[in-house]
Structure 1
Amino acid sequence: MPTNKEPQNPTPTFAELGVAAEIVDSLASRGITRTFAIQELTLPIALGGHDLIGQARTGMGKTYGFGIPLLDRVFDDADVAELDGTPRGLVVVPTRELAVQVGEDLSIAAKKLPVRVTTLYGGRPYEEQVAQLKKGSDVIVGTPGRLIDLREQGHLDLSHVAVLVLDEADEMLDLGFLPAIEKLLAALEGNRHQTMLFSATMPGPIMTLARTFMNKPVHIRAESGEQEFTHEKTEKITFQAHRMDKETILARALQAQGRGRTIIFARTKRSAARVAEDLARRGFTIAAVHGDLGQEAREKSLLAFREGTVDILVATDVAARGIDIDDVTHVINYQVPDDPMTYIHRIGRTGRAGNTGIAITMVGYDELPKWRLINDEFDLGQPEPPQWFSTSPELIAALNIPANVRETVGPPTKVIGAPRGFPERARRPRTGSRRPRR
């Protein structure tokens, strides 16, 4: 959840920027009073109903950068029709996890408003979402597939939407999402609406495409300079590791002094499941989020991580854009991501909202070409990371690992989100010869 901690050089308060008193009071009850840079820059433009493209690093307040003016205008703007139970605001996001997070944040800001926020995404029964829409919804947060399904079934009326937001717009407008976005844009044709795009990165081709359906958008960047993709308070530790040694390195790294909530990113569902299972066998309390888990299991895992029931989350990139927690101390790349932007989104989970963080990347020997692409893209100055093993003194010093840590920390545990029977039935050692086939 965003906290908007007091910056050293105070930015304006939401009240000073003219945000509705009801929203100001709701945020103040959560200790949120002053704006982040992206909010300070976008609110005056967005509250005026102008199209804009907002760009800021992950974890620097983009959700309220668009969410507050959306709620404010839906609630009390002469250019927006009176609320009647059909949506006036629509926020489209790429993942289910991000839909849940954005919906929760908007609900916090709208607590004292007569504005109903509804979150729609796949993996949940249609019936409960249809029932919510029948009761009336003023602001919709949703993923493209479920939004289109509900509209085509006649349950979702988008003809009165006055404010459209594409969150994580670089991914939303990528080739995989473009057909779905075009369908949603077609549903809004004929009604005058404001469009806002927000993301941490906005490549040139995406900017060009975005302007084809926006009306003279203002492009706002909260930071200047091409290299300011990552938080300055995030320490990056990168080294080469043998794939057979990575899990032991993980076990030692998770016992580092000062480690708090930690996200471990794997590239594939299979890798994420294997890493979670291995760490659970070593006694760590683990939650997992990946594509082989049902939506209910994924939500259970994320809730446990957010509430602090577990402090280690193993995830694929499905979770990279859906976790908005300010006090993640460590992000560990168990595998190098496939592209530079994914690397930025992963490590952006730490060092948020003024906190410090550590981003660890273990580069397998076969992953060196991928790492070099990332290194060259962001001029990280480390094309050939050092080779460290789980017993290397350099590793122990760099990660602040206490002396004589063990590779196990207790009896086996169960991965939150894993199927029943884990870990007892998984990878059970053989006690005799295999029975011959008949």
Structure 2
Amino acid sequence: MIKFKELGLSDDILSTLKFQGINEPTPIQEQSIMFVKDGNDVIAEAQTGTGKTLAFLLPMFENISPDIDTIQGLIVTPTRELAIQITQEAMKLKEAKDLNILAAYGGKDIGAQLKKLKGNIHLVIATPGRLLDHLDRKSINLDHLKTLVLDEADQMLLMGFKNEVESIIKHTPKKRQTLCFSATMNSQVKKLAYKNMCDPKLVIIEKEEVTLKNIEQVLIETTDRRKQDALCTILDEENPFMAIIFCRTQRRVDNLEVALYQKGYNCQKLHGGLSQSKRERVMKAFKKTDIQYLIATEVAARGLDIAGVTHVFNYDIPENAESYIHRIGRTGRAGEKGYTFLFAAPKDKKILDAIETEIKLHIPRRTL
């Protein structure tokens, strides 16, 4: 197994990683770090939870100079939660190199961000909307940008940020390094990447079947009318340590949270319609295990790495196999056993067939 030292990382970064208990690179880190460090454009495809964030953060920290008072690194990510998560990872690396980092995302006081921008910022981590706001105000200048990262590019396009991303790219120098990290490389992502890159290196980490091997999957056959009762029956039987319940829309999340709360379940909701401070409070409480059930839309929970999730409940069937794999991948991590329950009505048969074909498994049925 290759060590971080062999990837040409500095001693300060190596000791910071060691202090955090990170001793060996994951496959995506092993294959990407040298390419990024050497200034190549990179297109990387790897599942969520494989260590993508450090795959671009570590070489960026190596390449950014704290002595130059300009923005040298920019990471664009689709959701506030991901921006926060990446910022937390970056802050841990400040021990190795004291870079000034700005997190710019909606829902956070723009005045405080503007004030911070008066100082010298080296690395910006931003969501598309808030970043464009800064660019319009001319409070962010990307003229000296060295590296642009498009993180969770597939999700960014899925959420309709294509125009925003292209507008952001226009504000960056032609001679820059561009990194595109994504869980899937669909045609849209490839088109965006190749259009804005110069001879990119391709890194593809095969989807690990292993991640599903640790997960015990059950299909609950029900109807829309009986679904809520079926969910409560399973929650009472399982009484999970920590669980995420996925719904299709914000309204479905709202309604289910009210229903479960009234029945006495320790639950909170998470979706894009909540204020930023509320979302941060909910995430903090869930990570501290003060909340047993997080009821969420897929977008809100996308890419979040939360340790200790024992169960995932797909209250609404996801729209495709890829989303299903993303959702159930929240559990069964780090060699732990995970349990997932998918609630399906007769009308869901077509999507269910597609999911089972993709994961090469006939999910064991159960009728309540």
TM over 0.5: yes
Q: Which residue of 1 aligns with 2:189?
A: 206
Pairing 1:110–2:79 present: no
Greater C-alpha radius of gyration: 1
Matches within 5 A, 1:57-68: 57-68=47-58
Matches within 5 A, 1:14-163: 14-75=4-65, 82-84=67-69, 86-163=70-147
TM superposition shift of 1:354: 3.2
Q: Which residue of 2 aligns with 1:196?
A: 179
Q: Structure 2 vs 1, CA of residues 23 and 258 (structure 1 numbering), >3 Å: closer, same or farther?
A: farther
Query: Is the contact made by 1:231 and 1:352 (CA closer than 8 Å) also made in structure 2?
Result: no
Q: Structure 2 vs 1, CA of residues 106 and 363 (structure 1 numbering), >3 Å: closer, same or farther?
A: same
Pairing 1:166–2:156 present: no
Structure 1: runs of 5+ lacking an equivalent: 1-10, 77-81, 390-438
Whole-Å Cα distance in 2 between the matches of residues 333 and 91 of structure 1?
A: 31
Q: Structure 2 vs 1, CA of residues 355 and 20 (structure 1 numbering), >3 Å: closer, same or farther?
A: farther
TM superposition shift of 1:232: 3.2
Whole-Å Cα distance in 1 between the matches of residues 335 and 122 of structure 2?
A: 33
Structure 2: runs of 5+ lacking an equivalent: none
Matches within 5 A, 1:375-394: 375-381=356-362, 386=365, 388-389=367-368
Q: Structure 2 vs 1, CA of residues 326 and 16 (structure 1 numbering), >3 Å: closer, same or farther?
A: farther
Letter in 2 for 1:160: H
Range with bigger deviation, 244-253 or 50-59 = 244-253
Deviation by residue 1:49-69 (Cα, 9 ceiling, x = unmatched):
111112222111111111111
SS in structure 2 opposite 1:83? coil
* TM-score of the aligned structures, taking structure 2 as reference length: 0.92
Whole-Å Cα distance in 2 between the matches of residues 283 and 175 of structure 1?
A: 34
Deviation by residue 1:385-414 (Cα, 9 ceiling, x = unmatched):
73512xxxxxxxxxxxxxxxxxxxxxxxxx
Pairing 1:312–2:293 present: yes
* TM-score of the aligned structures, taking structure 1 as reference length: 0.78
Q: Structure 2 vs 1, CA of residues 61 and 365 (structure 1 numbering), >3 Å: closer, same or farther?
A: same
TM superposition shift of 1:294: 1.6
Q: Structure 2 vs 1, CA of residues 348 and 279 (structure 1 numbering), >3 Å: closer, same or farther?
A: same
Query: Is the contact made by 2:287 and 2:307 (CA closer than 8 Å) also made in structure 1?
Result: no
TM superposition shift of 1:188: 0.8
TM superposition shift of 1:109: 2.1
Whole-Å Cα distance in 1 between the matches of residues 329 and 216 of structure 2?
A: 11
SS in structure 1 opposite 2:243? strand
Matches within 5 A, 1:287-326: 287-326=268-307
TM superposition shift of 1:216: 1.2
C-alpha RMSD of matched pairs (Å): 2.2
Query: Is the contact made by 1:99 and 1:143 (CA closer than 8 Å) also made in structure 2?
Result: yes
Number of aligned positions between the proteins:
368
Q: Structure 2 vs 1, CA of residues 299 and 208 (structure 1 numbering), >3 Å: closer, same or farther?
A: same
Q: Structure 2 vs 1, CA of residues 329 and 241 (structure 1 numbering), >3 Å: closer, same or farther?
A: same
Query: Is the contact made by 1:115 and 1:138 (CA closer than 8 Å) also made in structure 2?
Result: yes
Whole-Å Cα distance in 2 between the matches of residues 139 and 188 of structure 1?
A: 14
SS in structure 2 opposite 1:16? helix
TM superposition shift of 1:47: 1.4
Query: Is the contact made by 2:240 and 2:292 (CA closer than 8 Å) also made in structure 1?
Result: no
Q: Structure 2 vs 1, CA of residues 235 and 386 (structure 1 numbering), >3 Å: closer, same or farther?
A: closer
Q: Which residue of 2 aligns with 1:395?
A: none
Letter in 2 for 1:17: L
Higher helix share: 2
TM superposition shift of 1:378: 4.1
Whole-Å Cα distance in 1 between the matches of residues 213 and 145 of structure 2?
A: 38
Matches within 5 A, 1:416-427: none
Pairing 1:241–2:226 present: no
Deviation by residue 1:135-182 (Cα, 9 ceiling, x = unmatched):
232111111011011111011111111111111111224482111111
TM superposition shift of 1:252: 3.4
Query: Is the contact made by 1:99 and 1:322 (CA closer than 8 Å) also made in structure 2?
Result: no
Query: Is the contact made by 1:320 and 1:345 (CA closer than 8 Å) also made in structure 2?
Result: no
Whole-Å Cα distance in 1 between the matches of residues 126 and 120 of structure 2?
A: 15
Deviation by residue 1:247-286 (Cα, 9 ceiling, x = unmatched):
2333333345583221110011111112222222222211
Deviation by residue 1:309-358 (Cα, 9 ceiling, x = unmatched):
21321101222324212321111110012233322221221223333322
TM superposition shift of 1:13: 2.8
Whole-Å Cα distance in 1 between the matches of residues 268 and 57 of structure 2?
A: 29
- Runs (4+) of structure 1 exceeding 6 A deviation are none
